[in-house]
């Protein structure tokens, strides 16, 4: 794996290597010493920049005593293509795409979210999350459902003044009766309360605009200080992280179009308030 820019899959791989080193009771300096590597090589590896061969990776994992299942996972990440993006599947009820998204949101400093059909996940109340989860067909086991709800609530810990959040929400999502009248009333009041925070902006795209640039579906744009931006597309059982320049340029144009169509912040609050009333 030659050195290249840090990608989502690269950072997931690097996190796994860092955890392996830590679990073995070693430090990056000690690993470099034992393997005869430069310290920068280990640093690049745990930061998702690659720079090692498969043989070298096997040496490191052996040194750290990594168990077979985790070793296979890390080798799969190592071999993943990084030219266009990272397609991750939700296998065995592990909610892997959501876990990776949470990790990336914690690294991001600027998040732009477009939500076409539902209230954005980061703004959902517990009751709304439960209603949406129960309405799906993927999580059928109770423990899977509860794990998903807990993870989605824990995801909201990302809110902090060190990050900025801009939510573009279609009016349809605000009016879709999820969980009944009481659930929706609580949900809409929660959105209004969140807009008081200076680092959170909520803007509504009204139904009256008709077809528009965001009609193809919801997405999240993650902006970082140290890494290139990433677009996240969520499927029912998949998560797709797009990192190529053409995709980024396309979704940036979609956001620009939504910015021109959406109500301003005050108008959006007024619309949400009118729906609650």
Q: Are residues 16 and 71 in the same domain?
A: yes
What would the mean pLDDT of 111-124 be, rounded to a whole number? Answer: 97
**Average pLDDT taken over every residue of the chain:** 89
Which pLDDT band holds residue 184 (cuts at 50, 70, 90)? very high
Which pLDDT band holds residue 5 (cuts at 50, 70, 90)? low
What would the mean pLDDT of 169-191 be, rounded to a whole number? Answer: 97
Length reported for the chain: 277
Chain segment 84-108, per-residue pLDDT in tens: 678 888 765 556 788 889 999 999 9
Which pLDDT band holds residue 2 (cuts at 50, 70, 90)? very low
Q: Which of 177, 200, 205 is nearest to 271 (CA)?
A: 205
Q: Could you give the angle at the alpha carbon of 117 between the alpha carbons of 170 and 165, nearest 5°?
A: 60
Q: Are residues 67 and 200 in the same domain?
A: no
Residue 105: CB partners within 8 Å, gap ≥ 6? 111, 155, 158, 222
Q: What is the pLDDT of residue 60?
A: 93
Which pLDDT band holds residue 141 (cuts at 50, 70, 90)? low
What would the mean pLDDT of 30-58 be, rounded to a whole number? Answer: 86
Give me the CATH number covering residue 22.
Answer: 1.10.260.40
What would the mean pLDDT of 58-64 be, rounded to a whole number? Answer: 92
Which pLDDT band holds residue 145 (cuts at 50, 70, 90)? confident
Q: Which of 113, 119, 116, 115 is nearest to 132 (CA)?
A: 119
Secondary structure of residue 241 in the 3-state scheme = strand
| Residue 3 domain-assigned (yes or no) | no
Q: Are residues 153 and 95 in the same domain?
A: yes
Give the end of a domain, one of 57, 79, 101.
79
Which pLDDT band holds residue 199 (cuts at 50, 70, 90)? very high
Higher pLDDT, 5 or 248: 248
Give the end of a domain, one of 21, 53, 79.
79
Higher pLDDT, 190 or 150: 190
pTM over 0.75: yes
């Amino acid at each position: 794996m030659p050195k290249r820019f840090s990608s989502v899959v690269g950072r997931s791989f690097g996190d796994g290597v860092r955890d392996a080193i830590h679990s073995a009771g070693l430090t990056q300096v000690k690993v470099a010493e034992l393997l005869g590597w430069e310290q920068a090589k280990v640093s690049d590896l745990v930061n998702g920049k690659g720079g090692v061969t498969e043989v070298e990776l096997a040496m490191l994992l052996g040194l750290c005593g990594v168990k077979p299942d985790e070793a296979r996972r890390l080798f799969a990440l190592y071999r993943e293509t990084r030219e266009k993006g990272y397609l991750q599947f939700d296998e065995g009820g592990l909610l892997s795409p959501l876990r990776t998204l949470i990790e990336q949101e914690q690294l991001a400093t600027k998040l732009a979210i477009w939500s076409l059909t539902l209230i954005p996940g980061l703004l959902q109340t517990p009751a709304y999350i439960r209603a949406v989860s129960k309405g799906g067909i993927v999580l059928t086991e109770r423990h899977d459902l509860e794990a998903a709800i807990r993870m989605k609530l824990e995801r909201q810990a990302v809110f902090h003044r060190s990050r900025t959040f801009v939510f573009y929400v279609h009016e349809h999502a605000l009016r879709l009766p999820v969980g009944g009248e009481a659930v929706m009333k609580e949900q809409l009041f929660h959105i209004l309360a969140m807009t008081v925070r200076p680092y959170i902006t909520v803007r509504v795209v009204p139904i009256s605009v008709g077809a528009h640039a965001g009609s193809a579906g919801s997405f999240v744009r993650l902006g970082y200080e140290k890494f290139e931006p990433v677009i996240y597309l969520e499927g029912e059982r998949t998560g797709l992280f797009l990192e190529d320049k053409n995709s980024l340029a396309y979704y940036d144009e979609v956001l620009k179009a939504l910015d021109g169509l959406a109500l301003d912040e005050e108008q959006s609050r007024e619309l949400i308030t009118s729906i609650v009333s």
